[in-house]
Protein backbone atom coordinates (compact mmCIF):
# COMPACT_ATOMS: atom_id res chain seq x y z
CA UNK A 1 0.00 0.00 0.00
CA UNK A 2 1.26 3.49 -0.80
CA UNK A 3 2.11 5.73 2.12
CA UNK A 4 -0.33 8.56 2.80
CA UNK A 5 0.94 12.00 1.90
CA UNK A 6 0.73 14.54 4.70
CA UNK A 7 1.27 18.29 4.41
CA UNK A 8 1.72 20.22 7.67
CA UNK A 9 1.19 23.96 7.41
CA UNK A 10 3.36 25.55 10.11
CA UNK A 11 5.70 22.55 10.39
CA UNK A 12 8.53 24.79 11.66
CA UNK A 13 6.50 25.81 14.73
CA UNK A 14 6.27 24.14 18.12
CA UNK A 15 3.09 22.11 17.51
CA UNK A 16 3.60 21.62 13.74
CA UNK A 17 7.15 20.38 14.17
CA UNK A 18 6.19 17.98 16.95
CA UNK A 19 3.55 16.55 14.57
CA UNK A 20 6.12 16.37 11.74
CA UNK A 21 8.54 14.39 13.93
CA UNK A 22 5.83 12.00 15.03
CA UNK A 23 4.56 11.31 11.50
CA UNK A 24 7.59 11.50 9.22
CA UNK A 25 8.76 7.89 9.73
CA UNK A 26 5.33 6.48 8.88
CA UNK A 27 3.99 8.76 6.15
CA UNK A 28 5.31 10.73 3.19
CA UNK A 29 5.37 13.95 5.20
CA UNK A 30 5.87 17.52 3.97
CA UNK A 31 5.79 20.81 5.80
CA UNK A 32 5.89 24.56 5.44
CA UNK A 33 8.04 27.14 7.22
CA UNK A 34 7.86 30.90 7.13
CA UNK A 35 10.69 32.75 8.93
CA UNK A 36 12.68 29.82 10.32
CA UNK A 37 15.36 29.43 7.62
CA UNK A 38 16.85 26.33 9.25
CA UNK A 39 14.31 24.39 7.17
CA UNK A 40 15.32 26.01 3.87
CA UNK A 41 17.64 23.16 2.82
CA UNK A 42 15.24 20.41 3.86
CA UNK A 43 13.68 18.93 0.71
CA UNK A 44 10.46 18.02 2.52
CA UNK A 45 9.86 21.68 3.43
CA UNK A 46 8.40 24.54 1.39
CA UNK A 47 8.59 28.22 2.26
CA UNK A 48 5.08 29.63 2.70
CA UNK A 49 4.06 33.14 3.70
CA UNK A 50 0.33 33.46 4.42
CA UNK A 51 0.42 37.11 3.42
CA UNK A 52 2.20 36.71 0.09
CA UNK A 53 1.83 33.18 -1.23
CA UNK A 54 -1.07 31.21 -2.57
CA UNK A 55 -1.32 27.86 -0.80
CA UNK A 56 -2.59 26.29 -4.06
CA UNK A 57 0.92 26.18 -5.48
CA UNK A 58 2.17 23.98 -2.64
CA UNK A 59 -1.00 21.86 -2.70
CA UNK A 60 -0.55 21.25 -6.44
CA UNK A 61 3.04 20.14 -5.85
CA UNK A 62 2.36 17.80 -2.94
CA UNK A 63 -1.18 16.46 -3.63
CA UNK A 64 -1.63 15.60 0.06
CA UNK A 65 -4.11 13.07 1.41
CA UNK A 66 -4.12 14.92 4.71
CA UNK A 67 -3.44 18.60 5.38
CA UNK A 68 -2.72 19.62 8.96
CA UNK A 69 -3.08 23.31 9.75
CA UNK A 70 -0.90 24.46 12.67
CA UNK A 71 -0.34 28.07 11.65
CA UNK A 72 -0.11 31.37 13.38
CA UNK A 73 -0.02 34.74 11.65
CA UNK A 74 -2.18 37.69 10.72
CA UNK A 75 -5.84 36.81 11.39
CA UNK A 76 -7.55 38.06 8.20
CA UNK A 77 -4.98 36.31 6.03
CA UNK A 78 -5.33 33.11 8.07
CA UNK A 79 -9.06 33.21 7.27
CA UNK A 80 -8.37 33.78 3.60
CA UNK A 81 -5.83 30.94 3.44
CA UNK A 82 -8.32 28.57 5.06
CA UNK A 83 -11.01 29.68 2.60
CA UNK A 84 -8.66 28.59 -0.18
CA UNK A 85 -8.10 25.31 1.64
CA UNK A 86 -11.88 24.69 1.70
CA UNK A 87 -12.03 25.19 -2.08
CA UNK A 88 -9.17 22.74 -2.53
CA UNK A 89 -10.82 20.16 -0.26
CA UNK A 90 -13.96 20.23 -2.39
CA UNK A 91 -12.12 19.32 -5.56
CA UNK A 92 -9.55 16.90 -4.18
CA UNK A 93 -9.29 13.72 -2.12
CA UNK A 94 -7.65 15.60 0.77
CA UNK A 95 -8.89 15.90 4.35
CA UNK A 96 -8.09 18.86 6.63
CA UNK A 97 -7.05 18.49 10.29
CA UNK A 98 -7.23 21.90 11.93
CA UNK A 99 -5.50 22.70 15.24
CA UNK A 100 -8.15 24.72 17.00
CA UNK A 101 -8.24 25.76 20.62
CA UNK A 102 -10.22 25.49 23.84
CA UNK A 103 -10.63 29.26 23.44
CA UNK A 104 -13.58 28.69 21.10
CA UNK A 105 -15.50 28.37 24.39
CA UNK A 106 -13.92 31.22 26.29
CA UNK A 107 -17.19 33.15 26.69
CA UNK A 108 -18.65 30.29 28.74
CA UNK A 109 -17.38 30.03 32.26
CA UNK A 110 -19.57 27.87 34.43
CA UNK A 111 -18.84 24.42 33.02
CA UNK A 112 -16.28 22.55 30.93
CA UNK A 113 -17.23 22.26 27.25
CA UNK A 114 -17.87 19.17 25.11
CA UNK A 115 -17.55 18.48 21.38
CA UNK A 116 -21.04 19.48 20.28
CA UNK A 117 -21.55 22.43 22.63
CA UNK A 118 -22.11 25.68 20.83
CA UNK A 119 -18.95 27.72 20.49
CA UNK A 120 -18.82 31.30 21.78
CA UNK A 121 -15.76 33.44 22.38
CA UNK A 122 -15.00 36.85 23.81
CA UNK A 123 -11.48 36.94 22.45
CA UNK A 124 -10.26 37.87 18.98
CA UNK A 125 -8.21 34.67 18.95
CA UNK A 126 -11.19 32.49 19.92
CA UNK A 127 -13.35 34.15 17.28
CA UNK A 128 -10.73 33.49 14.59
CA UNK A 129 -10.76 29.79 15.48
CA UNK A 130 -14.59 29.72 15.47
CA UNK A 131 -14.68 31.34 12.05
CA UNK A 132 -12.38 28.70 10.57
CA UNK A 133 -14.23 25.88 12.37
CA UNK A 134 -17.54 27.13 10.94
CA UNK A 135 -16.15 27.10 7.40
CA UNK A 136 -15.05 23.50 7.96
CA UNK A 137 -18.44 22.45 9.29
CA UNK A 138 -20.06 23.46 6.02
CA UNK A 139 -18.05 20.76 4.23
CA UNK A 140 -18.95 17.04 4.17
CA UNK A 141 -18.08 15.56 7.56
CA UNK A 142 -15.58 13.07 6.15
CA UNK A 143 -13.44 15.95 4.83
CA UNK A 144 -12.46 17.63 8.09
CA UNK A 145 -11.31 17.11 11.67
CA UNK A 146 -11.43 19.93 14.21
CA UNK A 147 -8.88 19.29 16.96
CA UNK A 148 -9.50 21.52 19.99
CA UNK A 149 -6.33 21.73 22.01
CA UNK A 150 -5.71 23.36 25.41
CA UNK A 151 -2.36 24.88 26.52
CA UNK A 152 0.48 22.56 25.52
CA UNK A 153 3.24 21.91 28.08
CA UNK A 154 6.34 19.80 27.55
CA UNK A 155 10.11 19.69 27.90
CA UNK A 156 10.66 21.97 24.93
CA UNK A 157 7.41 23.93 24.92
CA UNK A 158 7.55 27.72 24.71
CA UNK A 159 5.33 27.91 27.83
CA UNK A 160 7.77 25.88 29.95
CA UNK A 161 10.75 27.77 28.52
CA UNK A 162 9.10 31.07 29.37
CA UNK A 163 8.48 29.99 32.96
CA UNK A 164 12.13 28.89 33.25
CA UNK A 165 13.36 32.23 31.89
CA UNK A 166 11.15 34.18 34.32
CA UNK A 167 12.38 32.04 37.23
CA UNK A 168 16.00 32.57 36.24
CA UNK A 169 15.56 36.35 35.99
CA UNK A 170 13.43 36.45 39.15
CA UNK A 171 10.53 38.08 37.34
CA UNK A 172 6.85 37.58 38.19
CA UNK A 173 4.92 34.70 36.65
CA UNK A 174 1.22 35.30 35.92
CA UNK A 175 -1.25 32.81 37.35
CA UNK A 176 -5.05 32.77 37.20
CA UNK A 177 -6.29 31.41 40.53
CA UNK A 178 -9.96 31.21 39.51
CA UNK A 179 -9.35 29.57 36.19
CA UNK A 180 -9.98 25.82 35.90
CA UNK A 181 -8.34 24.29 32.84
CA UNK A 182 -7.20 21.12 31.22
CA UNK A 183 -3.78 20.94 29.62
CA UNK A 184 -1.82 18.68 27.32
CA UNK A 185 1.65 17.65 26.30
CA UNK A 186 3.24 17.72 22.83
CA UNK A 187 4.21 14.01 22.80
CA UNK A 188 0.75 12.79 23.75
CA UNK A 189 -0.98 15.29 21.45
CA UNK A 190 0.99 14.12 18.43
CA UNK A 191 0.35 10.44 19.27
CA UNK A 192 -3.35 11.24 19.38
CA UNK A 193 -3.18 12.97 15.99
CA UNK A 194 -1.24 9.98 14.58
CA UNK A 195 -4.01 7.66 15.78
CA UNK A 196 -6.74 9.86 14.23
CA UNK A 197 -4.94 9.88 10.87
CA UNK A 198 -4.29 6.12 10.92
CA UNK A 199 -7.96 5.47 11.54
CA UNK A 200 -9.16 8.09 9.02
CA UNK A 201 -11.13 9.74 11.81
CA UNK A 202 -12.96 12.98 11.11
CA UNK A 203 -15.26 15.19 13.19
CA UNK A 204 -14.61 17.15 16.37
CA UNK A 205 -12.05 15.99 18.95
CA UNK A 206 -11.15 17.48 22.33
CA UNK A 207 -7.49 16.64 22.84
CA UNK A 208 -6.75 17.67 26.40
CA UNK A 209 -6.00 15.95 29.70
CA UNK A 210 -8.92 13.92 31.01
CA UNK A 211 -8.86 15.79 34.34
CA UNK A 212 -9.05 19.44 35.33
CA UNK A 213 -6.82 21.62 37.50
CA UNK A 214 -6.66 25.23 38.65
CA UNK A 215 -4.23 27.24 36.55
CA UNK A 216 -2.34 28.50 39.62
CA UNK A 217 -2.01 25.02 41.07
CA UNK A 218 -0.74 23.59 37.78
CA UNK A 219 1.87 26.34 37.29
CA UNK A 220 3.03 25.92 40.91
CA UNK A 221 3.43 22.15 40.31
CA UNK A 222 5.39 22.86 37.12
CA UNK A 223 7.73 25.21 39.02
CA UNK A 224 8.17 22.80 41.89
CA UNK A 225 9.11 20.08 39.45
CA UNK A 226 11.71 22.34 37.80
CA UNK A 227 13.77 22.78 40.94
CA UNK A 228 14.17 24.68 44.17
CA UNK A 229 12.87 28.06 43.08
CA UNK A 230 11.17 30.82 45.04
CA UNK A 231 8.86 32.18 42.37
CA UNK A 232 7.17 35.55 42.39
CA UNK A 233 3.57 34.83 41.39
CA UNK A 234 1.39 37.56 39.98
CA UNK A 235 -2.19 36.50 40.70
CA UNK A 236 -4.61 37.73 38.05
CA UNK A 237 -8.25 37.65 39.11
CA UNK A 238 -10.62 38.02 36.15
CA UNK A 239 -13.76 37.12 38.16
CA UNK A 240 -14.51 36.31 41.78
CA UNK A 241 -16.00 32.94 40.87
CA UNK A 242 -14.34 29.87 39.42
CA UNK A 243 -14.18 30.01 35.65
CA UNK A 244 -13.70 27.02 33.32
CA UNK A 245 -11.61 27.02 30.18
CA UNK A 246 -11.62 23.33 29.44
CA UNK A 247 -12.58 21.19 26.44
CA UNK A 248 -13.37 17.62 27.51
CA UNK A 249 -14.38 14.65 25.34
CA UNK A 250 -17.80 13.04 25.61
CA UNK A 251 -18.92 11.73 22.20
CA UNK A 252 -15.61 11.27 20.39
CA UNK A 253 -13.40 9.60 22.95
CA UNK A 254 -9.91 8.27 22.28
CA UNK A 255 -8.67 4.89 23.52
CA UNK A 256 -7.58 4.87 27.19
CA UNK A 257 -3.90 4.34 26.38
CA UNK A 258 -3.86 7.68 24.52
CA UNK A 259 -5.29 9.74 27.37
CA UNK A 260 -3.20 11.84 29.74
CA UNK A 261 -3.65 13.42 33.16
CA UNK A 262 -2.29 16.70 34.53
CA UNK A 263 -0.14 14.77 37.01
CA UNK A 264 1.44 12.67 34.23
CA UNK A 265 2.39 15.86 32.44
CA UNK A 266 4.05 17.19 35.61
CA UNK A 267 5.79 13.88 36.39
CA UNK A 268 7.02 12.95 32.92
CA UNK A 269 7.06 16.00 30.67
CA UNK A 270 8.50 18.88 32.69
CA UNK A 271 12.31 19.22 32.72
CA UNK A 272 13.84 18.80 36.19
N1 LIG B 1 1.14 26.11 21.72
C2 LIG B 1 -0.01 25.91 22.33
O3 LIG B 1 -0.07 25.81 23.59
C4 LIG B 1 -1.29 25.79 21.53
C5 LIG B 1 -2.48 25.43 22.18
C6 LIG B 1 -3.66 25.31 21.43
C7 LIG B 1 -3.65 25.54 20.07
N8 LIG B 1 -2.48 25.90 19.46
C9 LIG B 1 -2.54 26.19 18.02
O10 LIG B 1 -1.53 25.48 17.33
C11 LIG B 1 -1.10 26.22 16.19
C12 LIG B 1 0.41 26.32 16.23
O13 LIG B 1 0.82 26.95 17.44
P14 LIG B 1 2.33 26.94 17.94
O15 LIG B 1 2.30 27.16 19.40
O16 LIG B 1 3.04 25.76 17.37
O17 LIG B 1 2.88 28.28 17.23
P18 LIG B 1 4.35 28.62 16.68
O19 LIG B 1 5.39 27.81 17.38
O20 LIG B 1 4.46 30.10 16.73
O21 LIG B 1 4.28 28.14 15.15
C22 LIG B 1 3.53 28.87 14.20
C23 LIG B 1 3.81 28.36 12.81
O24 LIG B 1 3.19 29.25 11.86
C25 LIG B 1 4.17 29.72 10.94
N26 LIG B 1 3.84 31.09 10.53
C27 LIG B 1 3.87 32.23 11.27
N28 LIG B 1 3.56 33.29 10.53
C29 LIG B 1 3.35 32.83 9.27
C30 LIG B 1 3.03 33.45 8.02
N31 LIG B 1 2.86 34.77 7.90
N32 LIG B 1 2.89 32.67 6.92
C33 LIG B 1 3.04 31.31 7.01
N34 LIG B 1 3.37 30.68 8.15
C35 LIG B 1 3.52 31.43 9.27
C36 LIG B 1 5.47 29.66 11.69
O37 LIG B 1 6.58 29.64 10.79
P38 LIG B 1 8.08 30.16 11.22
O39 LIG B 1 8.29 29.68 12.63
O40 LIG B 1 8.97 29.49 10.23
O41 LIG B 1 8.06 31.63 11.11
C42 LIG B 1 5.31 28.34 12.45
O43 LIG B 1 5.56 27.26 11.59
C44 LIG B 1 -1.79 27.58 16.27
O45 LIG B 1 -2.88 27.58 15.39
C46 LIG B 1 -2.28 27.65 17.72
O47 LIG B 1 -3.46 28.41 17.84
C48 LIG B 1 -1.31 26.02 20.15
pLDDT at res. 245: 96
85 falls in which pLDDT band (50, 70, 90)? very high
Signed CA dihedral, 87, 90, 91, 96: sign only: positive
Helix (H) or strand (E) holding 144: strand 144-149
Cα(1) to centroid(ligand 1), Å: 32
The pLDDT tens digits of the residues spanning 129-181 come to 999 999 999 999 999 999 999 999 999 999 999 999 999 999 999 999 999 99
pLDDT at res. 62: 98
Judge contact between 103 and 246, C-beta under 8 A. no
pTM: 0.98
What residues pair up with 29 in beta bridges, in sequence order?
Answer: 6
Cα–Cα distances (Å) from 204 to 110, 137, 153, in that order, read 22, 10, 22
User: Average pLDDT over the chain, rounded to whole?
Assistant: 97
Distance CA 115, CA 209 (A): 14
Side by side, the strands of the sheet bearing 66-69 are 45-47, 28-33, 5-9, 66-69, 95-101, 144-149, 203-206
pLDDT at res. 240: 85
Cα(229) to centroid(ligand 1), Å: 30
pLDDT at res. 64: 98
The number of C-alpha atoms within 13 Å of 43 and in the hemisphere containing its C-beta is 1
Helix (H) or strand (E) holding 162: helix 158-168
The pLDDT tens digits of the residues spanning 209-237 come to 999 999 999 999 999 999 999 999 999 99
In 178-202, which positions are buried (b, 16+ CB within 10 angstroms) versus exposed (e)? Answer: bbbbbbbbbbbbbbbbbebbeeebb
pLDDT at res. 147: 99
Q: Which atom of ligand 1 is nearest to the CA of 12?
A: 43
Residue nearest to atom 1 of ligand 1 (CA): 152
Angle formed by the axes of helices 14-23 and 186-198, nearest 10°: 50
239 falls in which pLDDT band (50, 70, 90)? confident
Domains and CATH numbers, the chain: 5-151+185-206 (3.40.50.720), 153-181+210-244+256-268 (3.90.25)
Cα(164) to centroid(ligand 1), Å: 21
DSSP code string of 18-48: HHHHHHTTTSEEEEEESS-GGGTT-TTEEE-
265 falls in which pLDDT band (50, 70, 90)? very high
List Cβ neighbours of 267 (8 Å cut-off, separation of 6 or more).
Answer: 225
Ligand 1 pocket, residues with Cβ under 6 angstroms: 10, 12-16, 33-36, 48-51, 70-73, 99, 101, 149, 151-152
Tell whether the model's pLDDT for residue 1 goes beyond 80: no
Cα(69) to centroid(ligand 1), Å: 9
Amino acid sequence: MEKKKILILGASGFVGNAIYKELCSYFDTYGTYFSNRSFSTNKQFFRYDLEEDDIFQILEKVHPDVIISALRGNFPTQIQAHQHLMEYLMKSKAKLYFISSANVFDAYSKYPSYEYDKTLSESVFGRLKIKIENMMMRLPKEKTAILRVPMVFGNKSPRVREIKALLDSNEPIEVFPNLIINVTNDDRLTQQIHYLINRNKTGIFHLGSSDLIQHEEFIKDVIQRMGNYHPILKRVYTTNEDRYLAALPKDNKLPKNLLITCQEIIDHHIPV
